[in-house]
Amino acid sequence: MAFDAGMLAACVNELKNTIVGAKVDKIYQPGREELVFVLRMWNRREPMKLLMSAGANTPRINISGFNLQNPATPPTFTQLLRKHLQGAKITDVEQLGFERACRIELEAHDDMNFKTKKNIVCEIMGKYSNIIFCDADMKIISAVKIVDLTTSHKRQVLPGMKYEMPPSQGKLNPLEETRASFKEALIGYEGELSKFITNRYMGISSLTAREISTLAKTMGTWDAFEYVINIIKNAEFTPILLRDKNKNPKEYSFFPITQYGSALAAENTETFGNLIDSYFGERERSDRIKQKANDLFKLIENSIARLEKKTALQMQDLENCSEKEVFKRYGDLITSNIYAIKRGMKTATLVDYYDPEMKEVEVPLDYRLDAPANAQKYYKRYNKLKKAETELKKQMDISKIELDYLWSVFESFDRAEGEIEINEIRRELYESGYASRMKNYTQIKQQQSKPLEFVTSNGYRVLCGKNNTQNERLTFKLASKGDYWFHAKNMPGSHVILFCDGMEEPPAEDFTQAAIIAATHSKAKEEASVEVDYSLIKNIKKPVAAKPGLVIYHTNYSALVTPSKSVCESLRVK
């Protein structure tokens, strides 16, 4: 579902009852197109995080529970907002008409400490979404996306201009519709009701229009339309999340959805903030990671493609080496019949002593050479292919190790949560010999990221590495000899440590949960069942000069488990 005007009305209603009266404590800009206001309310102990996103795929505004990582150096827009809004009080939140835009009014102080009004306009309009900072008279001070004439001829968003609403599409406000006008417009219309609604009225998404069409079959067209509109007018919103059979979020709405029947399971969330976090969370994290690590994705993908091509050529050369035994046999047969072969012969028909039936075989000869020289020629070809085979196997083993390493790095992006993890991966690649392919990279001192943390049903602590750097730190620095190490068998994935902390050996249930965490955070996370190896830390060794994250072990147990995001989420420490 698109974040339509009805959903925005529900979110604005929730924000009115939650953040009006709160003060802006901190301002962050985790991504290029998103802002976080940390708010404090006099009657709340814990701060609130107001998240505004103008991303094309994840536009939204809500109270979020996510801990987003912030850049080491705040962007210019963030610094401007901090100057004007640090300590400001939110006095109002309103939706602008029935558009997908809302205004947050703040009471701040100017340089002379006089009270002044400032406004933040959040436009939730797909790829045209924006976050615009205005003064008391709605004159634009700055914006997340500056829109000039080169970008749009219809509407510009530039500092100094008066804020104007996006141009109208000539559609009607559904909140002002009457029964008579609705019925009259439907006379003679033969198309789908949902198309009629989206084409005639502003701010209604396809999902909402389809639901009205579904309800119309039992309620009548106007009654179904009025039912949904009254939900908005009377602010009788219900946060609904629809999940598929794999528990993946598929749709979200501000009122119950019946059109999917039993295909999607409906879930009532506590707040609209939780609803939007649940739907957009993973998608937004993925988009943010791709945006910040685009150069690394290309580097790794190109390196993997190069290695796979190299391995295919090596495999072909190795197959050619299988002819070496034929050349050795020819050399042996010529040597055993050395007196029967004369210079000038192009072939020789000889008895094959390697064949149990002693059949004759025709051996090609170089007519310019005598018998001993022909035998030596075949032996040289045999020895050359034998050495090539040995070297090719070594090179293929090296290529496989390198390929496995690159896949492990690629998998790390699935667990990265922000810029700190991206920088760790960047540094790891630099130190692993990819410096020549990384443009303008300079090593800087950076803070360490934290691994994923879980607590099992019986209270045992579990840590899961997000990347190879964390895997190394977990296994060889943080874990003790009596703790348990888990890893998906023979595939890239996280090192998972089950900490015993001197306590008794954990129950089988806790071992299973740790194995599920390891399987879920591996390349096989989509498989029905995954084999996970586990052993005491004292049995885990690192080979000399091995790539980060590579270990060896010879004593271990194995468990067959099913990866489960829901189990991991229920055990994770927030």
**Strongest mean pLDDT among 152-161, 195-204, 323-332, 433-442:** 195-204
Q: Collapsing DSSP states into helix, strand and coil, what is residue 183?
A: helix
| pLDDT for residue 514 is more than 70 | yes
Q: pLDDT grade, residue 124 (50/70/90)?
A: very high
Q: Are the C-beta atoms of 150 and 140 separated by less than 8 Å?
A: no
278 vs 82, which has greater pLDDT? 82
| pLDDT for residue 211 is more than 70 | yes
Q: pLDDT grade, residue 189 (50/70/90)?
A: confident
Determine the average pLDDT of the residues in 544-556: 88
Q: pLDDT grade, residue 443 (50/70/90)?
A: low
pLDDT score recorded for residue 151: 79
Q: pLDDT grade, residue 547 (50/70/90)?
A: confident
pLDDT score recorded for residue 445: 63
List, for residues 129-165, the tens digit of each pLDDT value. Answer: 999 999 999 999 999 999 888 877 788 899 999 999 8
Domain spans of the chain, in order of start? 5-143, 174-289, 299-409, 452-571
Determine the average pLDDT of the residues in 263-291: 82
List, for residues 301-331, the tens digit of each pLDDT value. Answer: 888 899 889 888 888 888 888 888 888 888 8
Q: Are the C-beta atoms of 302 and 311 separated by less than 8 Å?
A: no
The rounded distance, in Å, linking the Cα atoms of 95 and 102 is 4
List Cβ neighbours of 537 (8 Å cut-off, separation of 6 or more): 475, 479, 480, 481, 482, 483, 484, 485, 497
Percent of the chain with pLDDT over 90: 47
Determine the average pLDDT of the residues in 476-481: 91
| pLDDT for residue 574 is more than 80 | no
Cβ count near 537 (within 10 Å): 21
Q: pLDDT grade, residue 546 (50/70/90)?
A: confident
| pLDDT for residue 102 is more than 90 | yes
Give the alpha-carbon dihedral of 356, 360, 363, 368, to 10 degrees.
130
List, for residues 239-260, the tens digit of each pLDDT value. Answer: 999 988 877 788 999 999 999 9
pLDDT score recorded for residue 236: 94
Span 5-143: which CATH code? 2.30.310.10
| pLDDT for residue 438 is more than 70 | no
List, for residues 12-69, the tens digit of each pLDDT value. Answer: 999 999 999 999 999 999 888 889 999 999 888 889 999 999 988 888 999 998 877 7
| pLDDT for residue 349 is more than 60 | yes
Percent of the chain with pLDDT over 70: 96
pLDDT score recorded for residue 100: 92
Report residue 264 as tokens.
């999607």
Residue 146, Cβ density class (10 Å: 0-12 exposed, 13-18 middle, ≥19 buried):
middle
| pLDDT for residue 439 is more than 70 | no
Cα Rg of the chain (Å, integer): 34
| pLDDT for residue 1 is more than 60 | no
Kindly write down the DSSP assignment for every residue of 120-157, as one continuous string. Answer: EEEE--GGG-EEEEEETT-BEEEESS-B-TTT-SS--B
